[in-house]
């Protein structure tokens, strides 16, 4: 099992990629009509695989246990990426309250 460490996934805005094998909680985006953008209400985390691709970990596909273990295994969805591992999110808090950003 590969451990992903908790780290800021939004640092590309500063011209630096997130470290490999890291994760952070997502921000969920809600439209004025109450619906969520791109099913972000189901997103659990942003994860950066061992090949430095940062993608959403969706609750539509995955579950995260109280100890941070992700099921099923994590497959990087980037075309051509070979990262496919069993993953544990170090520092995962199952009671985390997600930040919701209102968008127009």
| Burial (CB count <10 Å: 0-12, 13-18, 19+), residue 24 | buried
Q: What is the pLDDT of residue 48?
A: 96
* Residue 28 contacts residue 36 (beta carbons within 8 Å): yes
Q: What is the pLDDT of residue 37?
A: 72
* Residue 88 contacts residue 68 (beta carbons within 8 Å): yes
Q: What is the pLDDT of residue 13?
A: 63
Stronger pLDDT, 50 or 98, i.e. the higher one: 50
How sure is the predictor about 29, in pLDDT bands with cuts at 50, 70 and 90? confident
How sure is the predictor about 12, in pLDDT bands with cuts at 50, 70 and 90? low
Q: Provide the 3-class DSSP secondary structure of residue 1.
A: coil
Contacts for 90-93 with beta carbons within 8 Å, 24 or more apart? Answer: 90/3, 90/4, 90/5, 90/6, 91/5, 91/6, 92/64, 92/66, 92/67, 92/68
Q: What is the pLDDT of residue 100?
A: 84
What does the pLDDT look like over 40-70, one tens digit per residue?
778 899 999 999 999 999 999 999 999 999 9
């Amino acid at each position: 099992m590969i451990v992903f460490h908790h780290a800021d996934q939004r640092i590309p805005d500063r011209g630096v990629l997130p470290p490999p094998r890291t994760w952070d909680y997502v921000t969920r985006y809600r439209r004025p009509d109450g619906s969520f953008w791109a099913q972000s209400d189901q997103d659990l985390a942003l994860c950066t695989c061992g090949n430095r691709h940062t993608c959403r970990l969706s609750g539509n596909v995955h579950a995260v246990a109280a100890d941070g273990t992700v099921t099923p295994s994590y497959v990087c969805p980037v075309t051509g990426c070979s990262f496919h591992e069993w993953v544990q999110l170090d520092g995962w808090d199952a009671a985390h309250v997600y930040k919701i950003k209102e968008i127009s």
